Structure 1
Amino acid sequence: MGDWIEIVLRSLLILAGLFVITKLLGKKQLSKLSYFEYIVGIIIGDIAGSLSMDAEANLVNGVTSILIWTLISILLSYVSLKNKKVRDIVEGKARVFIKDGKILEGNLRKERFTSDELLEMLRKKSVFSVREVEFALLEADGELSVLLKRDYRAVKPSELWLQLPEDKEPRTVIMDGQIIEEMVEEVGRNRGWLQEMLADKHVNVEDVYLAQLHSDGKLSLDYYHDKIEQEE
């Protein structure tokens, strides 16, 4: 029973430690891993797993090792921010795959990509013909950025000389049945105005799960007992 208790305590300690380390390394670790960060993650995970499962493993040495790898990763990230050459080595460089509608086969080989894989990545971008592509770039994180030729791009309002009103992000004025006062004030309204809007719809604040005020002045409501969004 003693071993089980120790394993539970070790596991909880390691879990808390890894949570703190993840916070220190920053959100970038969750969305984009460089080559080095990927290796460090594997090493730290392996050490943490061994420490939590092996009761005979030296906890102090293991934690010290994790802290050393974490410190190395933080220092290298800091140096990468200051030095582009280091950043290119650690995070990798973007590489052009398509230029002027022509595939650069040499660059594909350097990144060990096949033409099938390139076409698959294009299809995921809703592009089914290479000739429609003006420029395609494989980013350092493995994502493919695509710029279509002008004839195949969606027409923008500015290209039609249309003067459309500015579209701003909607403001959440009610959440979980509670009015968010600061948001209501931010849009130049007050609590009374919002309650009048709800009264016109014969709705109580407590019945509203989420309410957002859009830049066009419309108030969209999502109710607790109705998953369909309705607009004023």
Structure 2
Amino acid sequence: MMGKREIGQLSPFDFVVAIIIAELAAIPMEATDEPLWNSILPLVILGLLEVVMSYATLFSRTLRCIVCGRPQVIIKSGQLLRNEMRKARYNLDDLLGQLRDKGIVDVGEVEFAVLETSGKLSVILKSQYRPVTPADLGISTPYEGLPTVLVMDGSVIGENLKEVNLDENWLNEQLRERGLEPKKVLLATLGTDGRLFVNEK
């Protein structure tokens, strides 16, 4: 109901609702003399309130800022913004710890650091400290894309086979060449370059 969000990305409102729902769900277990309906009705109301609020924040930036807060720039152009850190009650130990977590030990390498509404720190390094990419060297690279999962836990995924214009006969033939059958395969994927990866159970 809350959508595909990790617990670390929940807004304070979502987090509080989740805790209240857990408390309400425990009431009928603790007070067996209370009718179950007395707990179900508040759970349904809270669930609906959560869904309505999450939809409302999708379309209203003002409401989203009130409920979820705003990202705060903690480091700008390589300089610590102490006032922003005070507003967020974010101390230097927190900052250095999150930088180390990203493999950064020198604050001087950071161009921008943004404290997201989830509490995570997004970091953009100065250009001279970023890893070199093929684009920097003027090297063209082939298209990679995502591999298509054909077999998972011994089950053939028919819709994925259709997407790549193949059928089960082709798959069975490829697996027979490896001395396997679908039910003995843990994972089989087809890369965009046409290579079939097979991992048996």
Report the TM-score, using the length of structure 1 for normalisation: 0.77
Q: Do the aligned partners of residues 206 and 52 (structure 1) sit closer, same or farther apart at CA in structure 2, a change above 3 Å counting?
A: closer
* More off after superposition, 204-213 vs 163-172: 204-213
Which of the pair has the greater relative contact order for Cα pairs under 8 Å at 6+ separation?
2
CA contact (8 A) 2:8 2:118 kept: no
Within 2, Cα distance between the matches of 1:201 and 1:66? Answer: 53
- Which residue, out of 42, 50, 57, partners 1:80? 57
Structure-2 residue corresponding to 1:213: 190
Distance in 2 of aligned mates of 1:204 and 1:66:
47
Asked if 1:171 is matched to 2:148, the reply is: yes
How far apart, CA to CA, are the structure 2 residues paired with 1:29 and 1:150?
Answer: 31
Match of 1:182 in 2: 159
In structure 1, C-alpha distance between the alignment counterparts of 2:58 and 2:150, rounded to whole Å: 38
Q: CA deviation at 1:42?
A: 1.7
**Which of 16, 19, 24 is the aligned partner of 1:39?**
16
Q: Which runs of 4+ in 1 moved over 4 A?
A: none
Question: What percent identity do the matched residue pairs reach?
Answer: 37
CA contact (8 A) 1:170 1:213 kept: yes
Q: How does 1:60-71 map to 2 (within 5 A)?
A: 60-71=37-48
DSSP 3-state at the match of 2:28 = helix
Q: Which amino acid aligns with 2:19?
A: I
1:34-79 Cα offsets, whole Å, 9 max, x none, are: 1112112222211211222111334333322222322332222222
Q: 1:81: how far off?
A: 1.9
CA distance in 2, matches of 1:178, 1:79: 40
Q: Is the 8 A contact 2:78 2:112 kept in 1?
A: yes
Distance 2:47 2:157 in 1: 40
Alignment-derived partner of residue 201 in structure 1: 178
Q: Could you say if the C-alpha distance between residues 177 and 46 of structure 1 is closer, same or farther in structure 2, counting changes exceeding 3 Å?
A: closer
- The farther-off stretch of 177-186 and 150-159 is 177-186
The number of aligned residues is 201
Could you tell me how far 1:111 is from its partner in structure 2?
A: 1.1
What does the per-residue CA deviation read over 1:10-42, in whole Å, with 9 as the maximum and x for residues that have no partner? xxxxxxxxxxxxxx3333375621111211222
Alignment RMSD (CA, Å): 2.1
Alignment of 1:34-183 (within 5 A): 34-183=11-160
In 2, the alpha carbon distance for the partners of 1:78 and 1:205 equals: 42
Q: CA deviation at 1:183?
A: 2.5
- Structure 2: state its 5+ residue gaps: none
Structure with the higher helix share, 1 or 2? 1
Q: Residue 200 of structure 2 is aligned with which of 223, 227, 230?
A: 223
Distance 1:164 1:34, change over 3 A: same
Aligned to 1:8: none
Distance 1:205 1:146, change over 3 A: same
Q: Are the counterparts in 2 of residues 29 and 37 from structure 1 also a CA contact under 8 Å?
A: no
Instruction: Give the deviation of 1:190 after TM superposition.
Output: 4.0
- Structure 1, gaps ≥5 residues long: 1-23, 225-232
